[in-house]
Structure 1
Amino acid sequence: MTESELYSVHKGVFVPTHLHPAESLKYYEDFIFRPDDILIVTYPKSGTIWMQEIVPLVVSEGDLTLVLTVPNWDRVPWLEEHRAILLSLEQRASPRIFATHFHHQMMNPSYFKIEPRVLYVMRNPKDVFISSFHYYGMASFLVNPGTQDEFMEKFLNGNIMFGSWFDHVKGWLNAAEQEHILYISYEEMINDLRASVEKIATFLGKSLSSEVVEKIADHCVFKNMKQNKMSNLSLVPEEFMDQKKSEFLRKGIAGDWKNHFSAAQEERFNAVYDDKMKDVKFKFPWD
């Protein structure tokens, strides 16, 4: 099926209509934030599921009950998805934890007024591309990716769900409310998960013992988290995600793109990356 059949356009970017019907997008537009809300913001395939596991454990000081009994889409709901309407989020006790794939300029009026706490997770766009390519091949609500070359052009031009990776990252890096934002990368979490848990805890004002930090880090190592049926999306019906084609949580590594890119694809990607990111001063771990 085509983009026009599977997607709608919201604030300038494609969103899958199955997950984000008009009433869900309106719900998010009208949503009222609290100052102590915690918002995990990612471009798709950048570590969202991982953060949906880590952040509740930091908040609960290592209590595994929630992450082992509640699916991640209800535990840390995406505010733009249809599930959010059903969860009585207004009645949830603080601190509430949410996720979103929205660009900075797509955030609602309440966000800019209240400025809740944001954890913004970034990942090497080459790995985001490879992960997305596999995801689009197994999810029925997304347009078939075609060949890797075809999908690369769509990715580089932002003609995929949630638009351009480049615009997403630059928009959040340029946010005015940076004192309320923690910038963290997928790669630093891979490199030292324990230090990343401590960094997140400090940002959220949680003083955790070394034993609790170790417990959280051990549970959230990718190979362990991948076994949690509340987090690996194995509960999603096969008609929507066929994990026999590709697991939703695949490898959880950095640099897998090197196993998939041809020399020509790497050259093409680098040329676009260098042009679009030339004015960005932020130091990324993959540069």
Structure 2
Amino acid sequence: MDRISTTETFAGISYPGHLHTKESLQLAQDFQFQDMDILIATFPKSGTTWMQEILTLIYNKGDSVVAETLPNWLRTPWLEHTYFRDLVQENGGLRIITTHLPYDILAPALKNSKAKVIYMVRNPKDVAVSYYHFHKFAKFLPEPGNFGKFLDRFLNGTVHYGSWFQHVKGWLRHQENASFFLITYEDMHRELRCSIERLCGFLNHSLSSEELDRVEEHCSFGNMSQNRMVNCTLISPEILDHSKGKFMRKGKVGDWKQHFTVAQNNLFERIYQEEMSHCKHCFLMTLD
């Protein structure tokens, strides 16, 4: 708790000191991945919790007991957090690991393994809005100010965890790798069952129709938002001020339209085009 207002810097990117130290970040960079490992990589507020829950259900054949009794940070621990070494298993079995780190930090370790990487990405306008609201009640993040000021910091990459643009471009440069699976938040909203089936194919893990039904039902936003093992209500109010917001707020695509002014949207579009002009992937800003 004494580090809750601390900012840690590593490889030019700032991280909340509450769960990150230079030692924990260095250990993440030096981590020895095993071939059976599955790494969930995301920028903050891009559907990380959703993917953690889906993989938990896939590997339990749709049985939700583990997902409803064990917090997700214990099931799918964060590689860069201070507690990771105490949780990670070294027995050579299946390990689902989560990270917000950019590709360049993990590249040396990943190149020496056959670990599977699932990169989940969400359109940046909704990420900016969701991240802004998260700052309003997460006490380990800086005060966001008004949305316009926060959006400026998001666009210039000075928020914690760095630039969305650099994070996405860094990971997507490796999307042709056979061990890399790209999925978007928007894809999962449009076709959740199809997305689960695609994940099963990538993981070489087959499920029956009934098991897929259970995974799909449990991993709906409504069900997850009521699950204390994932909705962060187990976390102390000294860390998350639950009176000021919810971790699982809306889970919608296109909520940015309720926040952006015309001028802010024009600015965002200009910077987006400058940053992502050479990116092969087209991100859906709305499902309309």
Report the TM range for the smaller structure's normalisation. over 0.9
8 Å CA contact retained: 2:9, 2:22? no
> CA 1:110–1:151 in structure 2 vs 1: closer, same or farther (change >3 Å)?
same
Q: 1:179 Cα shift?
A: 1.2
CA distance in 1, matches of 2:176, 2:157: 25
Q: 1:7 Cα shift?
A: 1.3
TM-score of the superposition, structure 2-length normalised?
Answer: 0.94
8 Å CA contact retained: 2:10, 2:22? no
Q: State the one-letter code of the partner of 1:73.
A: W
User: In the alignment, what sits opposite 2:83?
Assistant: 83
CA distance in 2, matches of 1:207, 1:109: 31
SS in 1 for 2:14: strand
Gaps of 5+ in 2: none
Q: State the one-letter code of the partner of 1:173.
A: L
User: In the alignment, what sits opposite 1:31?
Assistant: 31
Q: 1:109 Cα shift?
A: 2.9
Q: Does 1:267 align with 2:266?
A: yes
Q: Does 1:11 align with 2:16?
A: no
Q: 1:115 Cα shift?
A: 3.7
Q: 1:157 Cα shift?
A: 0.5
Gaps of 5+ in 1: none
User: In the alignment, what sits opposite 1:189?
Assistant: 188
User: In the alignment, what sits opposite 1:102?
Assistant: 101
TM alignment of 1:209-220, pairs within 5 A: 209-220=208-219
User: In the alignment, what sits opposite 2:48?
Assistant: 48
CA distance in 1, matches of 2:201, 2:283: 21
TM alignment of 1:199-278, pairs within 5 A: 199-278=198-277
CA distance in 1, matches of 2:217, 2:42: 23
CA distance in 2, matches of 1:60, 1:31: 26
CA distance in 1, matches of 2:175, 2:209: 34
Q: 1:8 Cα shift?
A: 1.6
Q: State the one-letter code of the partner of 1:256.
A: D
Q: State the one-letter code of the partner of 2:83.
A: R
Two-structure CA RMSD over aligned residues (Å): 1.4
CA distance in 1, matches of 2:180, 2:126: 23
The alignment-based identity, stated in percent, is: 43
CA distance in 2, matches of 1:177, 1:59: 25
User: In the alignment, what sits opposite 2:167?
Assistant: 168
> CA 1:115–1:177 in structure 2 vs 1: closer, same or farther (change >3 Å)?
farther
Q: State the one-letter code of the partner of 1:137.
A: K
8 Å CA contact retained: 2:78, 2:97? yes
8 Å CA contact retained: 1:30, 1:108? no
SS in 1 for 2:80: coil
Q: Once the two structures are superposed, what CA deviation does each residue of 1:22-79 show, in whole Å capped at 9, x if it has no partner?
A: 2311321332111111110000000001111001111221121221111111110110
User: In the alignment, what sits opposite 2:142?
Assistant: 143
Task: Please identify runs of 4+ aligned residues in structure 1 that moved more than 4 A.
Answer: none
SS in 1 for 2:8: strand
Q: 1:285 Cα shift?
A: 3.1
CA distance in 1, matches of 2:176, 2:85: 27
SS in 1 for 2:243: coil
User: In the alignment, what sits opposite 2:122?
Assistant: 123
CA distance in 2, matches of 1:219, 1:60: 12
Q: Once the two structures are superposed, what CA deviation does each residue of 1:120-168 show, in whole Å capped at 9, x if it has no partner?
A: 0010100000000000111111111111111111000100111000001
Q: 1:177 Cα shift?
A: 6.2
Q: 1:88 Cα shift?
A: 4.2
CA distance in 2, matches of 1:286, 1:250: 18
8 Å CA contact retained: 1:27, 1:80? yes
> CA 1:85–1:215 in structure 2 vs 1: closer, same or farther (change >3 Å)?
same
CA distance in 2, matches of 1:178, 1:130: 31
CA distance in 2, matches of 1:125, 1:158: 12
CA distance in 1, matches of 2:187, 2:71: 26
